[in-house]
Amino acid sequence: MTHTVSDALLALRDAGYFQHAEDDDAIDDMANRYGLEAAIFSPASGRAVLLNAEDLAEGGAGMGIQQIRMLLAARGIAIDAADSEGFDDASGATRLSVNGASEVLFDWSFTRHAMPDELADADYPSPLRDLLWKGRVQGFDLKVRPCEHGSPGVDLHLQLQEQSRFFAHWSLGFDDGRVLYATGFFTIVNRLLAQLRLDDRLYAWRPFTDGQTGVLLDPSLFRQLQDLNLTAQLRRIDAME
């Protein structure tokens, strides 16, 4: 079924998607000029924040968590969040302080240990082996599968306790720093949302790119976006069920 821009915006408004938006006219104008996704996944929606993947990997996680704090504040939920991450000499990890907890953003301890034989001997390109090893140290169990579209490279799936989830397509040139920092950040945020007993989870739109955006959605709103065929570049990249 084909939806016009006006129909889709009306359906999303009825579902409460723009409940915290400040300017409906600006959203309408953006959607008509640049497309629905540009409007609904922009900060103007009151539901999204820009989380440039390279910035997160280069010291920007503190700024990112401040943006999440403001999203939650608009919903009447107050959290404490540090303006910057810090390095913990004792554990060898980059940590982010969020609401009284010191969360691991990136664990550097892989630098002190040899890669396990099953990975070192695997018939994978060296950059892929490095990503799988670094991911394992972070607690992310990544599984390699043939690309379902036949593109060069492989698909990576994140193995969780009761399911696996498509994670990313890997090919040469894939930036594992962007990937692992973004995954750590989104995991910290979604763990916080679960602790706050909220139904919302932070989804990534255009994950692992300069245009990566975090979007707060509950299951019903995600299904609404699916019905409107607006989830092609939207997915969970956190290590939570």
Bridge-based pairing of strands 93-98 and 101-107 is antiparallel
Cβ burial, residue 219 (10 Å; 0-12/13-18/19+): exposed
Check pLDDT > 90 for residue 149. Answer: no
Q: 169-214 pLDDT, tens per residue?
A: 999 889 999 999 999 999 999 999 999 999 999 999 999 999 999 9
pTM for the model stands at 0.95
Q: What is the mean pLDDT of residues 161-167?
A: 92
Q: 107-131 pLDDT, tens per residue?
A: 999 998 899 999 999 999 999 999 9
Q: Which helix (H) or strand (E) holds 146?
A: strand 141-146
How is residue 133 annotated by DSSP? Answer: H
Cβ burial, residue 211 (10 Å; 0-12/13-18/19+): middle
Residue 78, SS3 per DSSP? coil
**Distance of alpha carbon 177 from alpha carbon 160, whole angstroms:** 21
